[in-house]
Amino acid sequence: MQSRLSRVPFKAGESIFTGNPDIYRGDIQSACPAALAECVMALEDCCEETYESEKLVRDGTRDLPRMSRILDNERVFLLVDEGTIRRYKADLIDEVEPAINELIERAEQGLERMQKKESVLEAKLEAVQTRPAKPAIGTNVTHKLEIRRLQMLKKQREKLEEEARALEAEIQAMEASPRKRIR
């Protein structure tokens, strides 16, 4: 639905009457002075803007009553006896505890693997450190390679030690949390 224009959109030589074009054509064009025509055009623009704004608001709020019913909420308080709470708490513990125990077991296995890797790397490091020095012929290149290898092993050992500490902390946290929940 569009707004209706208040001025006649005729061009020169056009008429609202099909028969005689000279009748009333002058009355239509001469009824509005130039300043008044500009006012009428500005008013029409305002009316069109108002109409578009109203249409936009109407489209945006058409669903408001339904959405108000959907979003309307009520606070309902239900009193539950303590036995029911204990039962639900026990059900929750029975449901969660096996998963927590499995996670703890997996973390312990991972920690054991890390400790084995750490001990192997430490043994390799000790073997490298106690190895006798090689002759001086062509040792610059091999010595540099050996130093790089030792540095890499040292970094790897430090990384594994850090991972082992993190896993130990995680295990301690996991062991502490189920005990708190059970009690």
Mean pLDDT of the chain: 81
C-alpha to C-alpha distance for 35 and 123, rounded to whole angstroms: 102
Domain stops at, among 51, 71, 91:
71
Predicted confidence (pLDDT) per residue in 26-63, tens digit: 555 555 677 888 888 899 999 999 999 999 999 888 88
Give the confidence band of 143 by pLDDT, cuts at 50, 70, 90: confident
Give the confidence band of 9 by pLDDT, cuts at 50, 70, 90: low
Q: Is residue 23 a part of any domain in this protein?
A: yes
pLDDT of residue 51: 95
Q: Which residues contact 100 (CB under 8 A, 6 or more apart)?
A: 174, 177, 178
Mean pLDDT of 154-180: 88
pLDDT of residue 103: 94
Domain co-membership, 87 together with 166: yes
Domain co-membership, 150 together with 90: yes
Give the confidence band of 3 by pLDDT, cuts at 50, 70, 90: very low
Domain co-membership, 87 together with 169: yes
Q: Is residue 76 a part of any domain in this protein?
A: no
Domain count for the chain, please give it: 2
Q: Is residue 113 a part of any domain in this protein?
A: yes
For residue 127, what are the domain limits?
A: 82-182
C-alpha to C-alpha distance for 97 and 179, rounded to whole angstroms: 10
Q: Is residue 161 a part of any domain in this protein?
A: yes
Q: Is residue 151 a part of any domain in this protein?
A: yes
Q: What share of the chain is helix, strand, coil (3-state, %, to 5)?
A: 75, 0, 25
Domain co-membership, 12 together with 99: no
Q: In this structure, how many other beta carbons lie within 10 angstroms of the beta carbon of residue 144?
A: 10
Domain stops at, among 71, 96, 124:
71
Here the tokens at position 96 are 């969660």
Place of tokens 């890797």: 117
pLDDT of residue 32: 62
pLDDT of residue 177: 79
Domain stops at, among 22, 42, 71:
71
Contact in structure between 150 and 128 (CB atoms under 8 Å):
yes
Mean pLDDT of 57-81: 84
Domain co-membership, 18 together with 95: no
Domain co-membership, 60 together with 87: no
Give the confidence band of 133 by pLDDT, cuts at 50, 70, 90: low
CA pseudo-torsion sign 7, 10, 15, 21: positive
Q: Is residue 77 a part of any domain in this protein?
A: no
Q: Which residues contact 177 (CB under 8 A, 6 or more apart)?
A: 100
Domain co-membership, 94 together with 134: yes
Q: In this structure, how many other beta carbons lie within 10 angstroms of the beta carbon of residue 117?
A: 15
pLDDT at residue 141 tops 90 = no
Q: Is residue 117 a part of any domain in this protein?
A: yes
Domain co-membership, 25 together with 60: yes
Domain co-membership, 65 together with 112: no
pTM of the predicted model, to two decimals? 0.31
